[in-house]
Chains A and B, each alone.
Chain A
Amino acid sequence: MRRASSVAIGASVLVASIVVGILVGPVHISPSDVLRWAVSFGGATSVSDQDAAILANLRLPRVVVAALVGASLSASGAAYQAVFRNPLADPYLLGAAAGAGLGATISVAFGPSDAFAVTVPLAAFTGAIGGVGLAYSLGRSALGGRSATSLVLGGIAVASFLTAVQTFIQQQRSETLRQVYSWILGRLGTAGWDDVRIALPSVLLAVATLWTVRRLLDVIEVGDLEAESLGLNVGRLRTIVVVAASLATAAAVSVAGLIGFVGIIVPHTVRLLSGTSYRHVLPLSVLFGASFVILVDVLARTVVAPAEIPIGVITAFVGAPFFLLALRRSAGRLT
């Protein structure tokens, strides 16, 4: 009962966020025009071509990309927090951010400059998957086993190494600094339907996978031994979750750059609303995560409109205090 109503709330919030995302922007388009445009599926003749182009080619894909990114990062964050039994785990924990950063840097430094729109997302995606893959195999081979600790340590080592390589390349090719920097701050300003096409398949596959195993997350969160004694193959489940979450994170990072804190803020807020069971936390993280990033992006393009603020700056601005709050609460609960 409680779950049904909270999912309904989450879905309503998402719908409302989408509406706000389409209505609000640096260019004022009256709600009635937007409505006419929407009910005619983009064909309304009473809306100017320019407004129609803004709505169909700029705002709508931007809202969709924001939703995909938010859903991915929040679901991945929630799943990581379960399998690593660490409330402060975020989707970038295992080297996804560092790998994506390196991939993006390499493609900016050495790739053809007229194809960045395609090469940077692909390289970032490959880098994120590669980073996590490296962390995973390092954690397994060098540190032994698939325990949460060895994976996290592997992730830290890989992230430091990849970041060093990235810094080296940037230092050698200083003309790439600005491009890489603006990518690191997170960007939805240039999001288009191409980005939707790049991200959508991975996000759907990954989120569906996490959604399917959400009940098992409650079991694994108790402890490896306890979960094993209940007949759960902990190593395999952790692998599946890490692969799915990394896929979602890589897709998000590839089209939006690094947007911090979403994977922490959203799952923790959801836990405050619906309790700690992943049966609720995961679906609600998907819905609220999508809404959160859509709304933050609305701020990013309106606060200093017509200029933009990098979205990563806003999530960090909101996220850092929230992070401390979450830390205090979880510390209070433990003692």
Chain B
Amino acid sequence: MGRRLVLLVVSVAVVAAACASDGEAGRESTGPSTGAAFPVTLTTSNGDITIDERPERIISLSPTATEMLFAIGADDQVIAVDDQSNFPPHAPTTELSGFEPNVEAIASYEPDLVVYSTEPGDLGSTLGGLGITTMLLPAATLLDDAYEQLEQLGRATGNAQAATAVVDDMRTEVDSIVSSVEMPQPPLTFYHELDDTYYSVTSQTFIGQLYALVGLDNIADAADDGGGGYPQLSAEYVIRADPDLIFLADTKCCGQSPATVAERPGWNSITAVRGRDVVPLDDDVASRWGPRIVEYLRTIADAVSDVEAEAA
């Protein structure tokens, strides 16, 4: 839990900086569109990179990138993933850490491409000095960023067509989920819980944006004057805001569940708690910007439909 929020916060800043400096960030600048053609040059968050031939020894230090690589069919090219990469289950998890990366340990795998999502200092340049190509894929702030990262990984690994297919599927699924939800008026309100000290997310964040897609109103938006996107709320505020839905993204980190929420002092007066509309999420799915966001969005949409069914 801890790591992911830190990563998100840090990465949001990185993305913002990258976008500000280069409106074309993330776009392919040269190279043909077919997957088999190398060399390929990509403009990434850590600058222009050129990949001369199809990478066969990829290391992922980012759980999201790992999910993306396996989704686009790069399975056989990935030789090692970091200790937090727990999906898909057959990913080659190692002791490598994306949080405190050990350059020597990474280099000992003799990778030809290292994908990572947070720059802890000078990982990219150090690995670059060893002749290893690196690709920084920071936390997405928009759905389109996530799609773009998938496409980029596709081009970088010679799986461009598969990546495009995955993205097209995701777009179709997202559209059909969004159109299947009847958005009630006035909108339902919700509280997304990141941990048991009531940290939450606003609609400015990648996660918050998914809720907005199905027409939900975020109670944390009013609590983020600083605009950081991750305000810490208080129990008082949540109780008074009286959300219709509560989403728990702290089931793994902090052992929270609909039962523990109902036991919190004063929380049984909240509509979501009384109506049993407290939805446990998988912490990992609810903090990554990989292909499983579709699954996450469906969970949200189902919860909205449940509330509407109860009301009807």
Q: A175-B1, A182-B195, A192-B265 are in contact. Are A112 and B255 (CB under 8 A)?
A: yes
The docked-state distance in angstroms from the alpha carbon of A50 to that of B224 is 24
The docked-state distance in angstroms from the alpha carbon of A306 to that of B243 is 15
Number of interface residues of A (CB under 8 A): 41
Q: State whether the Cβ of A53 lies closer than 8 Å to any Cβ in chain B.
A: yes
Q: Which residue of A lies closest to B235 (CB)?
A: A58
* Docked complex: B1-40 residues within 8 A CB-CB of A: 1-3, 5-6
Q: How far is the CB of A34 from chain B (nearest CB, A)?
A: 13
Q: State whether the Cβ of A307 lies closer than 8 Å to any Cβ in chain B.
A: yes
A114 touches B266 (CB 8 A): no
In the complex, per-residue mask of A25-65: 1 if CB is within 8 Å of any chain B CB, else 0: 11100000000000000000000011001101111010000
Q: State whether the Cβ of B46 lies closer than 8 Å to any Cβ in chain A.
A: no
A189 touches B255 (CB 8 A): no
B232 touches A54 (CB 8 A): no
A178 touches B6 (CB 8 A): yes
Would you mind naming 24 contact pairs between A and B with Cβ atoms under 8 Å apart?
A27-B236, A27-B239, A50-B240, A50-B242, A53-B269, A112-B255, A113-B255, A114-B256, A114-B260, A174-B2, A174-B99, A175-B3, A175-B84, A178-B5, A178-B195, A179-B2, A189-B197, A189-B232, A189-B234, A190-B197, A304-B231, A306-B222, A308-B198, A308-B232
Q: Which residues of B lie under 8 Å from residue A304 when comparing CB positions?
A: 223, 225-226, 231
Q: A27-B240, A54-B236, A189-B234 are in contact. Are A49 and B269 (CB under 8 A)?
A: yes
User: Which of B222, B235, B256, B266 is close to A189, meaning CB atoms less than 8 Å apart?
Assistant: B235
Q: How far is the CB of B6 from chain A (nearest CB, A)?
A: 7
Q: Which residue of B lies closest to A26 (CB)?
A: B237
B197 touches A174 (CB 8 A): no
The docked-state distance in angstroms from the alpha carbon of A129 to that of B63 is 39
B225 touches A182 (CB 8 A): no
Q: How far is the CB of B85 from chain A (nearest CB, A)?
A: 13
Which residues from chain B sit less than 8 Å from chain A, CB to CB? Answer: 1-3, 5-6, 84, 97, 99-100, 195-199, 222-226, 231-237, 239-242, 252-257, 260, 265-266, 269
Q: Which residue of A lies closest to B230 (CB)?
A: A307
Q: A190-B196, A304-B225 are in contact. Are A50 and B239 (CB under 8 A)?
A: yes
Q: Which residues of A lie under 8 Å from residue B232 when comparing CB positions?
A: 189, 307-310
B198 touches A189 (CB 8 A): yes
The docked-state distance in angstroms from the alpha carbon of A310 to that of B198 is 12
Q: Which residues of A lie under 8 Å from residue B253 when comparing CB positions?
A: 113, 175, 178-179
Q: Which residues of A lie under 8 Å from residue B99 when comparing CB positions?
A: 174
Q: Which residues of A lie under 8 Å from residue B252 when comparing CB positions?
A: 113
Q: Which residues of A lie under 8 Å from residue B257 when comparing CB positions?
A: 114
A179 touches B195 (CB 8 A): yes
New A-B contacts (8) at CB < 8 Å, excluding given A57-B266, A113-B255 = A26-B234, A53-B269, A57-B265, A58-B235, A179-B195, A179-B254, A189-B198, A307-B234
Q: State whether the Cβ of A187 lies closer than 8 Å to any Cβ in chain B.
A: yes
Which 8 A-B pairs rank lowest in CB-CB distance, beginning with the nearest?
Answer: A178-B2, A114-B255, A113-B255, A57-B265, A177-B2, A53-B266, A306-B237, A307-B231
Q: How far is the CB of B99 from chain A (nearest CB, A)?
A: 5
Q: Which residues of B lie under 8 Å from residue A212 when comparing CB positions?
A: none
In the complex, per-residue mask of A13-27: 1 if CB is within 8 Å of any chain B CB, else 0: 000000000000111
| B interface majority secondary structure | loop
Q: Which residues of B lie under 8 Å from residue A116 when comparing CB positions?
A: 196, 254-255
Q: A113-B253, A174-B99 are in contact. Are A181 and B266 (CB under 8 A)?
A: no
Q: Which residues of A lie under 8 Å from residue B225 when comparing CB positions?
A: 304, 307
* Docked complex: A246-260 residues within 8 A CB-CB of B: none
Q: How far is the CB of B307 from chain A (nearest CB, A)?
A: 20
Q: Which residues of B lie under 8 Å from residue A190 when comparing CB positions?
A: 196-198, 235
The docked-state distance in angstroms from the alpha carbon of A40 to that of B236 is 21
Q: Which residues of B lie under 8 Å from residue A209 when comparing CB positions?
A: none
Q: How far is the CB of A56 from chain B (nearest CB, A)?
A: 8
Interface centre among A176, A182, A307 (most CB of B within 10 A): A307
B100 touches A59 (CB 8 A): no
Q: How far is the CB of B49 from chain A (nearest CB, A)?
A: 27
Q: How far is the CB of A308 from chain B (nearest CB, A)?
A: 5
Q: A58-B235, A307-B232 are in contact. Are A171 and B2 (CB under 8 A)?
A: no
The docked-state distance in angstroms from the alpha carbon of A177 to that of B256 is 18
The docked-state distance in angstroms from the alpha carbon of A171 to that of B252 is 19
In the complex, per-residue mask of A154-177: 1 if CB is within 8 Å of any chain B CB, else 0: 000000000000000001001111
Q: Which residues of B lie under 8 Å from residue A59 when comparing CB positions?
A: 236
B234 touches A308 (CB 8 A): yes
The docked-state distance in angstroms from the alpha carbon of A49 to that of B267 is 11
Q: Which residue of B lies closest to A54 (CB)?
A: B236
A115 touches B255 (CB 8 A): yes
The docked-state distance in angstroms from the alpha carbon of A114 to that of B253 is 9
Q: Which residue of A lies closest to B265 (CB)?
A: A57
Q: Which residues of B lie under 8 Å from residue A214 when comparing CB positions?
A: none
Interface centre among A53, A61, A178 (most CB of B within 10 A): A178
Q: How far is the CB of B287 from chain A (nearest CB, A)?
A: 11
Q: Which residue of B lies closest to A182 (CB)?
A: B197
Q: Which residue of B lies closest to A301 (CB)?
A: B234
Interface centre among B6, B99, B254 (most CB of A within 10 A): B254
Q: Which residues of A lie under 8 Å from residue B222 when comparing CB positions?
A: 306
In the complex, per-residue mask of A279-310: 1 if CB is within 8 Å of any chain B CB, else 0: 00000000000000000000001001111111
Q: How far is the CB of B138 from chain A (nearest CB, A)?
A: 18
Q: State whether the Cβ of A73 lies closer than 8 Å to any Cβ in chain B.
A: no
User: Which of A113, A171, A181 is close to B254, meaning CB atoms less than 8 Å apart?
Assistant: A113
The docked-state distance in angstroms from the alpha carbon of A56 to that of B269 is 13
The docked-state distance in angstroms from the alpha carbon of A117 to that of B224 is 27
Q: How far is the CB of A87 from chain B (nearest CB, A)?
A: 34
Interface centre among B195, B231, B237, B242 (most CB of A within 10 A): B237
